[in-house]
A and B are shown apart, each in its own frame.
Chain A
Amino acid sequence: LAKTTQPISMDSYEGQEVNITCSHNNIATNDYITWYQQFPSQGPRFIIQGYKTKVTNEVASLFIPADRKSSTLSLPRVSLSDTAVYYCLVGMNRDDKIIFGKGTRLHILP
């Protein structure tokens, strides 16, 4: 299970693009990179998943460099409703389980 490091918190303003970077230096060859979003008092929500290069869906984009030792979640034109905690997960542990790190607390300001 690759250890991940991401900023504890970030602030941004409505309408801005927000990029959250996650470091995962010991990512394994078969590990995928997955991001979840969690609003207060709700369960996490799957946002996006990728293996290499770039993945885009209706919510976000995920950029993964060639060495795959980091990844960047990009949220275009954020709104107040994007205020949440964002978790970067890489691979699974030896027992085939997802283990959550501390996540990044994103606060969008008006």
Chain B
Amino acid sequence: GAVVSQHPSWVICKSGTSVKIECRSLDFQATTMFWYRQFPKQSLMLMATSNEGSKATYEQGVEKDKFLINHASLTLSTLTVTSAHPEDSSFYICSARIPGRGRETQYFGPGTRLLVL
């Protein structure tokens, strides 16, 4: 089946630094990818939609200057958390639609655990 990978799987950083998370579609091309954030015991919260070759669209309340998204190719989207603070500590998950499948069908990456000290 379709596979979406994320790197790194976990990262610890100091407050004020920037962290980049990669999301790759391994065996298909994804023109659209999505980034979610999940806090403990909570559901996934959609942060933004990443569109290949164009600007990402952000959900209400998500700071686009803090969470930079780049979708430079059909298989790679990156999320950069700039000037990270402890409240940015969370589980970040990306997903991608599979071409030819229903719009409601997405494949998710394994997630990236971010801990900001």
Task: Give A contacts to B, CB under 8 Å.
Answer: 32, 34, 36, 41-46, 49, 87, 89, 91-92, 95-103
Q: Is the CB of A49 within 8 A of B105?
A: yes
Q: How far is the CB of A29 from chain B (nearest CB, A)?
A: 14
B67 within 8 A of A: no
A49, A97, A101: the one contacting B43 at CB < 8 Å is A101
Does B8 reach chain A (CB closer than 8 Å)?
Answer: no
Q: For the complex, is B30 an interface residue (Cβ under 8 Å from A)?
A: no
- Near A by CB (< 8 A), chain B positions 97-114 give 102-111, 113
Q: Which of A42, A91, A101 contacts B111 (CB 8 A)?
A: A42
Task: A45 to B93: give the CA distance in the assembly, Å.
Answer: 12
Count residues of chain B with CB under 8 A from any CB of chain A.
Answer: 25
Contact of A45 among B43, B49, B91, B108 (CB under 8 A): B108
Name B's A-contacting residues (CB within 8 A).
Answer: 4, 6, 34, 36, 43-46, 49, 57, 91, 93-95, 102-111, 113
A–B Cβ pairs within 8 angstroms, 8 of them: A41-B113, A42-B110, A43-B110, A46-B106, A89-B104, A96-B103, A99-B46, A100-B46
Residues of B close to A102: CB separation below 8 A: 43
Are A44 and B103 within 8 A (Cβ)? no
- Pick from A32, A41, A95: contact of B104, CB below 8 A: A32
The 4 closest A-B pairs by CB, nearest first: A43-B108, A100-B44, A100-B43, A43-B93
Tell me which of A42, A46, A102 has the highest count of chain B C-beta atoms within 10 A of its own C-beta.
Answer: A46
In the complex, are the beta carbons of A92 and B103 less than 8 A apart? yes
Asked whether A103 and B105 contact (CB < 8 A) given A43-B110, A97-B49, the answer is: no
Complex: chain B residue closest to A44, CB-CB: B108
Query: Which residue of chain A has its CB nearest to the CB of B9?
Result: A41
C-alpha spacing A96/B32, complex, angstroms: 11
B114 vs chain A, min Cβ distance (A): 12
Residues A49 and B104 in contact in the complex (CB < 8 Å), given A43-B93, A43-B110, A43-B111:
yes
